Structure 1
């Protein structure tokens, strides 16, 4: 993991204008009020007996925590926000705004700060399915957490 590179991406997102439409960006995805950077992506786990997946999950969580320590030096300790109830509410038909709806469908929890700019910055580890890659995600948004 390249913490300096990841911090530079987060700084860029904190200063960048949000896209007017939902879609791909040079570092991930974005839309009105948010940007999501895919900082790092693992390989997939189609041929895995579970061992490689477990090790990758531990590695990605450790990398999120290491990056979070650097952000905590800037902005103080993170709040850890579980997204499970947000996911349940979305499944029951509640309209959850982006980026929170997307995050809740793929990230169990995020480490969350409010930057001096007023934007929210979140770090999370995503995995859509047992066979698919892990991703270390950084989110910058003007949309308050649910």
Structure 2
């Protein structure tokens, strides 16, 4: 996949109606008021795949940042924030709205824009489920304000 393809996917998500129920789409998952696109997914890692995992992590962050540069040309600089506190608050019983609650369990930080003239948020992040699980470059479109 290329940045051009990822931008086209984001353009599609930004114009789609947001669902009212959970489900899947041609590019990822969806839930009430949000769409998540899995732009890129790595392979799994072995238990001793430390160097390969670190290299893959760096590549996925580079991909995210490259896509973010292109989005910044459209919408300006993103807000960048950690989802760690949202995860901790959810673990403490606070009701964190979706898609932020689910994302906070595996995406440490996001870059977020509010495209002009819309009520939607666009977020980019790199999913890090676990040491042996794949990385994912994710794009999220939602009308729910970040936590």
TM-score, normalised relative to structure 1: 0.97
Please tell me the root mean square deviation across aligned C-alpha atoms, in Å: 0.9
Aligned to 1:87: 87
How far off its partner does 1:49 sit?
A: 3.0
CA distance in 2, matches of 1:32, 1:9: 19
Where structure 1 has 5 or more consecutive residues not aligned to the other structure, the ranges are none
Aligned to 1:75: 75
Aligned to 1:109: 109
How far off its partner does 1:47 sit?
A: 5.0
CA distance in 1, matches of 2:49, 2:65: 26
Where structure 2 has 5 or more consecutive residues not aligned to the other structure, the ranges are none
Q: Secondary structure at the match of 1:12?
A: helix
Runs of 4+ in 1 over 3 A off after TM superposition: none
1:1-146 matched pairs, under 5 angstroms: 1-116=1-116, 117-146=118-147
Paired residues of 2:44 and 2:133 also in contact (CA < 8 A):
yes
CA distance in 1, matches of 2:14, 2:103: 18
Q: How many corresponding residue pairs?
A: 146
TM-score, normalised relative to structure 2: 0.96
